[in-house]
Amino acid sequence: MIEVEQVTKTYKLGDHSFDALKSVSLKIEKGEFVAILGSSGSGKSTLMHLIGGLDRPTSGKIVVDGEDLSTLNDGKLARFRNEKIGFVFQFFNLLPTASTLNNVIMPLIYTKKKGVQRVPKATEVLTSVGLGEKLRNRPNQLSGGEQQRVSLARALVNDPEIILADEPTGNLDSKTGEQIFELLTTLNKQGKTVIVVTHDQDLATAAGRIIRLKDGEVVT
Instruction: List residues near another protein by CB under 8 A.
Output: 49, 52, 54-55, 74-75, 78-79, 81-83, 87, 89, 93-95, 97-98, 106-107, 109-111, 154, 158
Q: How far is the CB of 158 from another protein (least distance, A)?
A: 8
Q: Which of 160-189 are b and which e, b meaning 16 or more Cβ less than 10 Å from the residue's Cβ? A: bbbbbbbbbbebbeeebbebbbebbeebbe
Give the whole-angstrom CA distance, residue 79 versus residue 85. Answer: 9
Identify the CA nearest to 183 among candidates 126, 137, 133, 98.
Answer: 126
The smaller minimum CB distance to another protein, of residues 95 and 219, is found at: 95
Q: How far is the CB of 74 from another protein (least distance, A)?
A: 6
The smaller minimum CB distance to another protein, of residues 24 and 204, is found at: 24
Give the three-class secondary structure for 76. Answer: helix
The smaller minimum CB distance to another protein, of residues 19 and 55, is found at: 55
The smaller minimum CB distance to another protein, of residues 13 and 109, is found at: 109
Q: How far is the CB of 66 from another protein (least distance, A)?
A: 20
Identify the CA nearest to 60 among candidates 25, 101, 107.
Answer: 25
